[in-house]
Amino acid sequence: MTPHVSFRIMLFLQYMMVAVWWLPYAAYLTRAGIPDGTRDIALSAMAVGFMASSIVGAFADRYFASQKVLAVSNLSVSALLACAGLTNNARLTIILVFAVMIIYMPTWALTGSIVLKHIKQEQFPRIRLFGTLGWVASGLFSVLFVNAFNMHDFDGSNVTFLCGSGVALTAAAFDLTLPNTPPNKNQEKFSIINILGFKAFTLLKNRNFLTLFICTFTSVLGYALYYTYAGLFFSEQQYQYVTGTIVLGQVGEVAFLFLTTTILLKFGFKRTMLIGLGAMVVRYGSFWWGSVAGGDAFYVTGVMLHGVIFGLYFTAGQIYTDKIAPSHLRAQAQGLMAFLVWGVALLTGNFLCSKLIAINATTDCVTVTHAWSAIFGTVTIFSAILWIAFAFSYKYDK
């Protein structure tokens, strides 16, 4: 098997193993009767994992062969997810999920590092695409599972953890067949300042990078409503295929990962990122109108816009960061953005969105319902203000 094929399979399994249970995780917590405050802490597991990933990944990359670290990580994830699937104690499951995410999230950077040490950089996007396809496959898997076993409450049940465990175990076995990737002993001295990219704060002197940094951090506060609570929303709308519905967004992502470079060359960074941010306004506007007027088409539109937002704003922002950073600060700049945006901002956004959801909740005897039109309307206005701020603050740059 050629390295290119091996890396595609590796990424496919790596992303499928988490999507199959994480996407319906909010629905699981709700069905398990977890109180809102505890649920919100539980849903911060991925953000905590993002914050830990730089430190864990950098340590492993310096002292161990990457493919062995990946195999051990996935084997550990498989064992923890199996325990989560076999227990009926939801609070124990929450603790296990935190352990899973602290071990799992560093593997996203680790798999990228493995690939880039064996292939040319320009070949990476098309190989990374198979990670997105793995995410999509989790949705197809959930649909097949429901129909094959007539288990209509699959999304939101602890069976999803067992499915994730099986994929993780398969991935761990496959990882041992990957090309050897020895530790990189020529890196800078191991220190928190270097790993978290604090030296890259000097780039904030650049007005455009400062604008991008502030707007990206702020946008994730609203982005968290969809990223973390979409499962809760679709579960309340009585959707049978929660995971299958959410992964439609990754179908759009596949297309826009191919188109991002072409659009950047034609329109430049500012207009490309404005299209991406504008798509977030339209997404929440679609969810708002769907909540007011009804109609699944508006919800599907909001989901499908994920690819536009991720490809034309977040991915374009990564490319811009890599472009303006000096060569010795590129890795640190990306590390800083990942830690603060997908760690700190996502964690903060989860709690802010949770507060917004709680404010718009009503209880009828036992059932809790939410005024989703007010929730989505608030985030639509927030996103529109952010779009205007970016448009006026970011200086046009070819």
pLDDT tens, position by position, 311-361: 889 888 888 887 888 877 776 777 777 788 888 999 999 999 989 998 998
DSSP letters along 360-375, please?
TEEEETTEEEE-HHHH
pLDDT class of 83 with cuts at 50, 70, 90: very high
Query: Quick one: 161 and 200 in the same domain?
Result: no
Asked if 352 and 247 sit in the same domain, the reply is yes
My answer on whether 161 and 202 are in the same domain is: no
Assess whether 96 and 215 both reside in one domain: no
316 shares its domain with 390: yes
Domain tally, the chain: 2
187 in any annotated domain: no
Per-residue pLDDT tens digits for 99-112: 999 999 888 878 88
Taking the CA atoms of 109, 115, 121 and 127 in sequence, report the sign of the dihedral they define.
negative
- pTM to 2 decimals? 0.81
Task: Let me know how long the chain is.
Answer: 398
Would residue 206 count as lying in a domain?
A: yes
**Torsion sign across C-alpha atoms 348, 307, 10, 117:** negative
Q: Is residue 183 domain-resident?
A: no
Q: Are 118 and 204 in the same domain?
A: no
In a domain, 189, yes or no: no
Closest by CA position to 357, among listed 163, 211, 225: 225
> Are 158 and 288 members of one domain?
no
Residues 396 and 251 in one domain: yes
Task: Evaluate whether 340 touches 289 at the Cβ level (below 8 Å).
Answer: no
Residue 83 belongs to a domain: yes
The CATH number of residue 11's host domain is: 1.20.1250.20
Spatial separation of the C-alpha atoms in residues 50 and 367, rounded to whole Å: 34
Domain co-membership, 224 together with 371: yes
pLDDT at 195: 63
Task: List the domain range (segments joined by +) for residue 293.
Answer: 196-398
Which two tokens mark 99? Answer: 């352990």
Residue 191 belongs to a domain: no
Same domain (yes/no): 166, 215: no
Q: Are residues 206 and 320 in the same domain?
A: yes
Would residue 172 count as lying in a domain?
A: yes
For residue 381, name the pLDDT band (cuts at 50, 70, 90).
very high
